[in-house]
Chain A
Amino acid sequence: MTAIELTQVFKTYEAGLATPYTAVDGVSLTVPGQRLTVLKGPSGSGKTTLLTLLGCMARPTSGRIHLHGVPAGILPALNQGDTLEVTSLPERFLTAVRRRNFGFVFQHFNLIRGVSVLENVCLPTYPTGEDPRVVEGRAEALLKDLGLGRHLRASVDRLSGGEAQRVAIARALISDPPVIVADEPTAHLDSHLSEGFMELLGHFKTLGKTVIVASHDPIVCHGALVDRVIELRDGRVVEGA
């Protein structure tokens, strides 16, 4: 079970320039493992920035981020359940941590256009040198579970919003990461599809995954399966830390 701990984390863009902007302002919090945590707040409150820091996509300007209970083999010399301080890792290791520990679902899905559904899902594994037949088998199973068995060879350009999001979810799950990170996942979905998505997140939780969602959608924030809501405003935690 992976938990993430942030200690006095700041993220300032254009630091040292005339107009520096602090998106995350001294946040300290712990995201519990195997739980569904929601980062809530209005636009510009720092949700997405905090999500990128939690997901090892960006480094904080200052502060420390620890991953507790990392899976075995995430980095050489790390054992199952060890704690890893990620803020000082070189890019190569940070990428390895991100690749094996996190699965991302982006607001705009971020699928590669002109490429098939199956290939989009397999893309994260290409640099790992994993046998493509094994990966494709896994991807097919995931896509069938998500109801996309008919669209394996179709181009992602032909999919509806809900289908595209499920492809993005399958891609996030292809390496079986312990943490799923989703940024405004219901922004382009209707209420029915949004509720379906929340059920899916609940399913991930039952599989033992840690789920972190940034959203200001009431369907997400007030979802019955949500364990914890952290409210942000102006880059600071105002409730739920």
Chain B
Amino acid sequence: MRPPLQRLRNILDFALASLSRRKGRNLSLLGVYTLVVFILASLIFFVQALKGEARALLAQAPDMVVQRMVAGRHDPIDLGRAQAIEEMRGVSGVRPRLWGYYYDPIYGGNLTVMAVEDAELPNDALWVGQGVARNLRVKQGDMITLRAYDGLPMLFTVQKVLSDASELISADLVLMSQSNVRALFAMREGTATDLAVDVGNARELPTIAAKIVERFPDARPILKSEILRTYEAVFDWRGGLMVVVLASAILSFVIFAWDKATGLSAEERREIGILKSIGWESGDILLLKTWEGAVVSLTAFLAGTLLAYVHVFFFSASLFDHALRGWSILFPRYRLAPSVDAYQLVILFVLTVLPYTVATLVPSWRAAMVDPDTAMRS
């Protein structure tokens, strides 16, 4: 090995030996450091993965949803409008959708009830999502009673429990025939909850939305990109909120790490004096301290990131998914698809590893600047 490389290696070996000599101090620092990286990396991975899920799910969503507004509130829309919108240039299809929320007083949660036209779904049956089945404790073949708008009970057979692959969106979903949805919610014939509009060219969406509003001033077109943006904003906001909640813990760590990193013990100062007196240059001392800082911070970064990956993608971020996911009662159970944003990892690296490494250098540089003869007098 060439001398410059051998020098790096020799000093790295001594840095590792120095760290192991101060086990208690360094292990406690490493533990807290790893915990902070773990929390921050978990937040980043989780928010990123949720956004990825939202993007994947919305890929199947209609390009635009058109609602009717009355006094600033969402109101059923006439089916006659579907025909008018479908005739507009650029629109490739319009599907009226019939859906609503059903509040279950026993569990205190909302179910999303939606009409589906499927030959396999008889009029007295329904399909439920995994979350509904779990919370209502029903399985295929069981009976469910829902209370209609007028208080009368409606009895259904659970014909199918939806697959867990779609649980993120189907957890609270109840699918039934159109006539049953109308009967449950007293929705008039000839109306729908909203209209799902598909267009041939996505770049024409704003123009078509403007045309719809021009034609029907009480309509509100909602673009897929707007829904995605809202989801991302919500997840970012929740992630930010968590950071604020954890800020005190992070701040405590920063103070702790700063104190440990910037304060050299009398023993460390003595060692620096000895090393200088036996022929180490100030640059060698700084290299030694850089290695020590880099080993601690890199180990903490790698361990924290790895633990966060396992926590989020193997255990579905069980430590704080309730705070971030935001369902009221029917929490979906699912495993997030691994999604790692290299840019955010680099930011995390820069914010955790670099400050600590640099912080360790300042006091070492000061100590390394003393004349080596101080060792003669120690």
Contact = CB atoms under 8 A, between A and B. Distances in A.
B346 interface: no
Q: Which secondary structure characterizes the binding site on chain B?
A: helix
Interface in A114-157: 114-115, 119, 123-132
Given A91-B282, A119-B17, A126-B10, A110 B378 contact: yes
Contacts of A113: 21, 267
A99 B21 contact: no
Given A91-B282, A128-B3, A57 B277 contact: yes
Contacts of B281: 91-92, 95, 127
Say which size band chain A's interface belongs to.
35 or more
Nearest to B371: A58
A128 B278 contact: no
A51 interface: yes
Contacts, number: 89
Contact of B17 (A92, A108, A115, A171): A115
A52 B373 contact: yes
A112 interface: yes
Interface string B1-19: 1111111001101100100
B80 interface: no
Interface in B323-378: 371-373, 375-378
Interface string B261-295: 00000010001011101111111100000000000
A180 B318 CA distance: 65
Contact of A48 (B2, B7, B271, B376): B376
B376 A124 contact: no
B278 A171 contact: yes
A17 B2 CA distance: 47
A52 B21 CA distance: 30
A112 B10 contact: no
A98 interface: yes
Contacts of A128: 3, 7
Nearest to B275: A123
Contacts of A108: 378
B278 A124 contact: yes
A129 B6 CA distance: 5
Nearest to B21: A114
A131 B17 CA distance: 18
Given A48-B377, A91-B281, A110 B7 contact: no
Contacts of B377: 48
B375 A129 contact: no
A115 B11 CA distance: 14
A108 B3 CA distance: 32
A104 B278 contact: yes
A147 B271 CA distance: 26
B284 to A, nearest CB: 4
A25 interface: no
Contact of A110 (B2, B4, B375): B375
Contacts of A49: 373
Interface of B: 1-7, 10-11, 13-14, 17, 21, 267, 271, 273-275, 277-284, 371-373, 375-378
Given A108-B378, A127-B10, 8 more contacts: A48-B377, A106-B277, A111-B274, A112-B271, A115-B17, A126-B11, A127-B280, A129-B10
Interface of A: 48-49, 51-52, 57-58, 91-92, 95, 98-99, 104, 106-108, 110-115, 119, 123-132, 171, 175, 183
26 contacts: A48-B377, A49-B373, A51-B376, A57-B371, A57-B372, A57-B373, A91-B282, A95-B281, A98-B372, A106-B375, A106-B376, A108-B378, A110-B277, A110-B278, A112-B275, A113-B267, A123-B275, A126-B7, A126-B10, A126-B11, A126-B14, A127-B11, A129-B10, A132-B10, A175-B279, A183-B376
